[in-house]
Every structure is written in C-alpha cells, then in structure tokens.
Amino acid sequence: MVQPRSRIVRLIAPVRSLFVSDASAGVLLILVAAAAMLAANSPLAGEYEALFYGELAWTPIAKLKDLHLWINDGLMAIFFFVVGLEVKRELIVGQLASPEQRRLPVLAAIAGMAVPAIIFVIVVGMGSPLTRGWAIPAATDIAFAMGVLGLLGNRVPASLRLFLLTVAIVDDIGAVLVIAAFYTAGIKMMWLAASVGVFAIMVGMNRFGVNRIWPFILVALVLWICVLFSGVHATIAGVVAALTIPMRNSDGHSMLEKLEHGLAPWSAYLVVPVFGFANAGVNLSGMTINEVLAPLPLAIAAGLVIGKQLGIFGIIVASVKLGIAKAPERANWIEIWGVTILCGIGFTMSLFISGLAFTGDRTLIDEAKIGILGGSLISAILGYVILRMTTSHPEEVEPEPVTP
C-alpha cells in the first residue's frame, strides 16, 4: 500500500525537478515576468509604477534618483561582473580556449546578432528613428534558453546544450561591446580618464599577485562610480573589472572560479529576477491593437523569432558544408534547428538594451517590451515543441546544472 506521503512526493516530483535542474533560473524568470505583467495591469499598477519610478527621498548618488535606476545601473553591474568572470574563464580554460572550440559558436553568435538587427531595420525602415533599437533582438537570454532545455531533460544531446551555452556567452560579449560602443551618453573625458586609471590599478593588482578578493571588490566599486559619471553605461564597469580578477592565486586555487561560483547564484536568483520584475511590466490597459502590432514590437519579435534562427542555423549549415567547422556531435539537423530557435529567447539583455535605446520614452520602451516578451514566448514554445517531438537521447548522461 502506497503511503500518503509517498503519493505527495510523487505528485510534486515534476515540479521539484524544475527547481533543482538547470531549468530553475529560466522558470523563475518566467514567473517573474508574469508577476510583473500582472502587477502592471492590476489595481496595484500605481504602486508598481511608484515603487520603481517614484523619486527617492534620499539617494547617495543624485544621478540615481529612483529605484529603477539603482537596479539598472547599479544592481545589474553584478550581473555583468558575473558575465565577465564567465567569459574570462571560458576564454582561458573553457569552451572558447582554442580556435577549434570557439570557431562555430563565434560564427553563430555573430550571425545571430547581425541577421536579427538587419531584419529589425528592414521592418522599421532605414530612415526611422526606431533604428536606434537595432540591437534589441540581437541578444539571447542564457537562463531562459537553458531553462527550456532543462525542461526537456536528457532528450537533447549534451553537445547541443554546450553549443547553446557557448553561443549565449559569445552573444553576451557582443552585447557588452554594442552597449559600450553605441549606447553611451555624452562622454566626460575626465571621468573616462579616471576610469582608465582605476582599471590600470586593477590590472597592476593582478600582475603583482594580490590574492585577496576584497581589494579587487573595493577598487571595482570605485571603477563603477567613475564609469557611471563618464557617460559610458555603468554596468560596463562590471565586465571590465571581472577581466582583471586573477585566474589563480598564490596557493594554486582559482580565485576567479571561487568568486564566480559564489556570485552566480545571487545573480541568477536575485539580481536578474529583481531586474526582470522592475522592467517586464507593461500596462496594456491603454493600448490598442495598432500599438501592439506597431512597427517596433513587430520588428523586435521578427528579429528574435526569424532573425535568430535564420542567422545561426544558416551559418552552421554553411560552415559545416564548407568544412569551416564541425556540427555538434550526435545531433541531427532538426535538433540543431530547434536549438537555434531557442536562441530567439531574449529577455534580460534585450530589456536592458531597450531601456538604453529609448531612454525617457516610456511608450517606445513599453512597445519594445511587448516585442521582447512576445518574440521570446514564441521562440520558447516553438523551440520546445520541435525538440520535444524530434529528440530522444536517453543514453546521454545528465549534465551538471549550468549557471547563467
């Protein structure tokens, strides 16, 4: 006879599995996005708006006058710092360490950014002021995409999981470069020079063997303040600071990996969800169908759904046929196509770039959010259905959970 407790455990097992696998961060983001939309379209809409956009009674930095700015310019620096640590580790000892390993992911990421941007510009029109948002559909959200793969369990070949993760990491590098190059305010040279000087100090700390974390963190905070006032977006300081963290310290242990493992859960389960809740809410009450189907949301959705798979799948086929790179092992073309569709899930970085592209224009930012959420949802469902129907790899060993 089955005990009541056993029945309960068996009933909740599928739910529990979502939160102990690499799907957990993605599932959390889905719930956060849904909560933000509910809050923005409920009787609490006024409180939601006031919480994030109401001017603070006191702030230590006058430039960050509301909670939304503190989240986007301050808290997200932690997310970018973790991204920088992950990128450095991958370049030195990971999947981007050799030319053979990085060739296909780099090509795929470049095509996966370029084609969505081109489609975006085509939809909005070359002369349109909306072209400033060209980079919005170029980003892939690691947590969301890996979360969908996590829901599929071991049905997806391990090589495709690794390929998706590596493409997303290279994609993040591209997004950071785009933000630094194209989404900066008026540059203040004195602050920029100070930023360079602080960065040089951190490089010197690395070279001279400083093997404690706290000096790097303190100087990184100074770097963040300098970059904040320089006109370059403050979160770039997170990536730049991460690149100076030593890979090894004097006792042979990896300072970088220790710091990454310590911060990654905070980034995945606190920083990004808080950012998502503050940025995903869109009040639809005053919107008409014409606004929902306006050029901006359509361009973003088209870039994510069509552009990502067209660019990435196209370059994979071309690279394999021309002998430039090898296809992911033990994966057929339909499986590869399904994973390229998942690359069209853009959330964290896409929302972030939309705020930079249309700063101060809440209407366009809301339209961009609709395009991001709509395009990401379509990509997630379509990619999941294709992989669910066409993949079956029970012999694969379940990989270790991957941090975003």
The pLDDT score that the predictor gives to residue 10 is 46
Q: How far apart are CA 378 and CA 64, in angstroms?
A: 35
Tokens 């809050």 correspond to what residue? 39
pLDDT in tens, 298-331: 999 999 999 999 999 999 999 999 999 989 888 8
Whether 13 is covered by a domain: the verdict is no
Residue 389 neighbours by CB under 8 Å, 6+ apart: none
Task: Report the sign of the C-alpha dihedral through residues 240, 241, 243, 244, in that order.
Answer: positive
On whether the CB atoms of residues 337 and 264 are closer than 8 A, the answer is no
Here the tokens at position 29 are 């983001």
Quote the number of domains for the chain: 1
Per-residue pLDDT averaged across 25-44, rounded? 92
Query: Distance between CA 347 and CA 5 in Å, rounded?
Result: 39
pLDDT for residue 225: 97
The identity of residue 86, as a single letter, is E
Q: Quick check: is 243 in a domain?
A: yes
3-state secondary structure of 79: helix
Q: Which amino acid appears at position 202 of this protein?
A: M
State the pTM of this model: 0.85
15 within a domain of the structure (yes/no): no
pLDDT higher than threshold 60 for residue 402: no
Q: Is residue 226 domain-resident?
A: yes
At 9 the pLDDT is: 44
In a domain, 268, yes or no: yes
Predicted pLDDT at 150:
80
Whether residue 401 is contained in a domain is answered as: no
Question: What SS3 string covers 57-87?
Answer: CCCCCCCCCEHHHHHHHHHHHHHHHHHHHHH
pLDDT value at 11 more than 50: no
pLDDT, averaged across the chain: 88
Residue 10 lies in a domain: no
| Residues 170-178, mean pLDDT to the nearest whole number | 90
| Cα 161 from Cα 142, distance rounded (Å) | 11
Determine the 3-state secondary structure of 116 from DSSP: helix
Range of the domain at 166: 23-390
SS3 for 55?
strand
Proportion of the chain above pLDDT 90, given as a percent: 64
CATH of the domain at 329: 1.20.1530.10
User: In the chain, pLDDT over 70 holds for what percent of residues?
Assistant: 90
In a domain, 289, yes or no: yes
User: What whole-number distance in Å separates Cα of residue 183 and Cα of residue 179?
Assistant: 5
Instruction: Give the list of residues 6+ apart from residue 41 with CB closer than 8 angstroms, or none.
Output: 282, 283, 284, 285
Which has the higher per-residue pLDDT, 211 or 61? 61
Length of the chain measured in residues: 404
